[in-house]
């Protein structure tokens, strides 16, 4: 059963001292975004983030995930009716919790949700990302990395 919450996960790594961010092209909409999905049953946001990252990009749940301050709300109607039927009638918006995960040099393996992925700079990611909330979470992460303020 789909829980009334969303997660956003930003995979990143450092190459030659510079952060790179992994963005994904959706197979059903052809735009670029980070890993995103909904919680299931009684998952915590962190559990949902780890599961989604594993399902969509084969990122192991044992990696260190960093909860970002960025939290957004998305409209419930962007979720299929099949999933919304379990929620109370007054569920109009869902919280979206954001996380970052340093994947170091581990390879990404795509699920069918995405047609491709790309490791890009901060500037290129801002240019390519479709959703404004993805850009805001990226801004936070990028500045945390630059100032050495990644919170565990």
pLDDT, tens digit, 9 for 90 and up, residues 4-59: 999 999 999 999 989 999 999 999 888 999 999 999 999 999 999 999 999 999 99
Q: DSSP code of 87?
A: S
The answer, yes or no, to whether residue 152 has pLDDT greater than 80, is: no
Contact 137, 96 (CB under 8 A): no
Tell me, what's the pLDDT at 88? 87
The pTM (predicted TM-score) of the whole model is 0.94
Mean pLDDT within 48-74 = 96
Which domains, from first to last, does the chain contain? Answer: 2-146 (3.90.79.10)
pLDDT at 83 (0 to 100): 78
Residue 151 has pLDDT above 90, yes or no: no
- Measured distance CA(7)–CA(50) in Å, rounded: 10
What's the Cα-to-Cα distance from 55 to each of 14, 76, 113, 127, 146, rounded to whole Å? 23, 22, 9, 26, 29
Task: List, for residues 79-108, the tens digit of each pLDDT value.
Answer: 888 878 888 889 999 999 999 999 988 899
């Amino acid at each position: 059963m789909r829980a009334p919450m969303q997660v956003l996960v930003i995979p990143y790594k450092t190459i030659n001292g510079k952060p790179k961010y992994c963005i994904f092209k959706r197979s059903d909409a052809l735009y670029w975004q980070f890993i995103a999905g909904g919680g299931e049953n009684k998952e915590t946001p962190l559990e949902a983030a780890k599961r989604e990252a594993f399902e969509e990009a084969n990122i192991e749940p044992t990696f260190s995930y960093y909860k970002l301050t960025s939290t957004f709300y998305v409209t419930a109607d962007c979720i299929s009716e099949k999933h919304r039927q379990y929620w109370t009638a007054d569920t109009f918006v869902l919280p979206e919790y954001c996380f970052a995960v340093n994947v170091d040099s581990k390879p990404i393996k795509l699920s069918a949700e995405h047609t491709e992925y790309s490791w890009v700079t901060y500037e290129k990611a801002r240019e390519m990302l479709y959703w404004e909330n993805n850009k805001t979470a990226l801004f936070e992460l990028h500045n945390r990395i630059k100032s050495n303020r990644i919170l565990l």
